[in-house]
Structure 1
Amino acid sequence: MARAARSHNMAWSLSSKTRPRERGRKEMAKKVQKVIPNAAVPPAEGRTVTIEGENYLELNDAMHTFYRRSMGELSPFFLALRDDKKIIGAKCSKCGIVRVPPMAWFCPDCDFAPAKAVEVSDRGKMLFTPPITYFANSMFQEQVPFGRGRVVPDGADTGLSVNLYTTTGILVPGIFKKGTEVKLVFRNNRYGKITDIFGLPASELSEKQLAKKGLLESEIDWEAAVEPKMPAATKKAAAHFEKAFKNLKKVVDDLNKCERAKKDIEGWKRTILVKTPGGKFVIAIDNGDLSVKKGATTKQDFTMVANNLDTVLKGLAYEGSLTEAIMKADLWISKNIEFMTVFKLERMARSLARSRK
């Protein structure tokens, strides 16, 4: 079995124009990726926990276990992702079924007839409507929100499990459904993992992008998100904006007085343009300090659109949820990756509420 796997691996590598290792070095100037991301590493300091009136000291500590794991018979699949920007499957020599990923090089339906490596398309359809992950542990915080579903590539008979994103801003229910046409896009920096690829709705890409094999994430226009239409501006909306903004400034002042809340945005800098029917304002996050100012800016990192300023006010006052507002389409942000910033703002609100108990 192991010998057969090696022969498939070698056959696929030698059929390419350049050896994978050489091509990998030339194509990708990789930034170093750590096995444990910095966000998952706790500070050295501990905390005091009060239980039944008694204080107890808890110290952060760690237990390290690093190891290497072989991808075994799946190695040809992951090497093709990393080095060739190709998706391969295992085609049974007897029944012709193509399994992606190639979990076995011998067909279980044909008395273990041998299979061969074949390339399949980077386009396909959703096998079912995927769930969306909005909250994840520290290992995946920088990736949320993302859908997780199976795409059946053209030329394959099974589904490939991948993360799903959108170029229209934040990922919300309804963008991906069963049968949605998907384009699989390759990460610029690839490591031989299934996360080296992700899916985008084919409807969001140009014909040229859809036709290109090995499309990279850097070739996607992530700034092309179309803002949703807001209700028409009225005098009533403007008056409500003025009143709500005063309350928002009070909440922000309270957040800045809370050391626990300030730590939630330490090391983070963002300028956010917020648009509402009653007016515009800017939220500035500057390494532990939070501020709001009426008016617009052209130097924002991303844009928020809210049907009502109360949505943002309640989220920061811990009387509502910014995440829930996004899921209900009451709040929109222009970049999916900036959900991390939304998460930090919600954490600030929670920290302030807890400090008052």
Structure 2
Amino acid sequence: MTQQTQQTHESGPVTTTAVAAGEPGTPAPLAPPFPPLAEPRPLGERRVWPRTFHDRLTAPLPGLKALARFAREGAVRPGPEGLADIPRLPYAPAPLPRVDTRTLAVTWAGHASWIVRIGGLTVLTDPVWSRRILGTPARITPVGVPWESLPRVDAVVISHNHYDHLDAPTLRRLPRDTPVFAPAGLGRWFRRRRFTRVTELDWWEGAELSGVRFDFVPAHHWSKRTLTDTCHSLWGGWVLTDSDGQRLYFAGDTGYGHWFSRIGRRYPGIDLALMPIGAYDPRWWLSDVHCDPEDAVQATLDLGARRMAPMHWATFTLSAEPVLEPLTRVRTAWEKAGLEREDLWDLPVGGSGVLD
């Protein structure tokens, strides 16, 4: 597999040399390191952003020809055989693990929603506790952690503004002084809803909260929430690093490409990568913006991450692959890459993994 070589804008003086990946299952070649991390931005800083982030796209958005082809032959949901495995989807809710300030722990609530415990903080990623989202059938597995069972939420990180990642009914459950880390251009959405501690970041920027650093990093995706706001806010993933150097990468929503090796060079020693593996079929339509299971394994190698936890599957039926296929394919790809089985945290919805 060859990484994309299209160049896009990057914040800060970073190299723009693309790196070609090896065959699937092999790490990307070493390349010169990125510069040191930028100084943390002030929390809650008000900033002026461009009206559009179209220049950050790494692939064109679908045009009229692609839309016409999708109307002719695209499937948006699995067929009856693909849905037959819904009762077999892994769902095993359990109490949250007990942690201390030196523990890194994750619990999968479903889709891209995680309860991350790092540096003594409880952080929610792309929290969606709603039963259904706009334009999509209801969840096929329940939420893995009841809202009432959550500890106090210390922060929320948002990857982008698509409805399956930015859910207004869930966010309304939070106190309005909850710290929110959001992509550039999305702060006004939160401020309109009276959130008072919103920090917007550009790619490669970071901020600190109680000794934990939150860095916003690029992704191969896009943003849109209404008919008139395409790419008006940024999209990306997050790297969380505690004071002991434990490091977690949350990919958000992304296709495969050159950003993963760059993220890995700038943030070495990622202990756990939360990687999307679903919503990938048909590939001609979705490959630019959604990883398939094999892409996710290769991206984990590119990142240099020690472990991977799959997400973005088994929750909503967003595309045409059979509902259980992402799990079987990611296990096969992991084994084919020669990686240790215990480093694939293929958790059930509601399951947890802990690093002490």
- Specify if TM > 0.5: no
More strand by share: 1
Larger Rg: 1
Bigger RCO of structures 1 and 2 (CA < 8 A, at least 6 apart): 2
More helix by share: 1
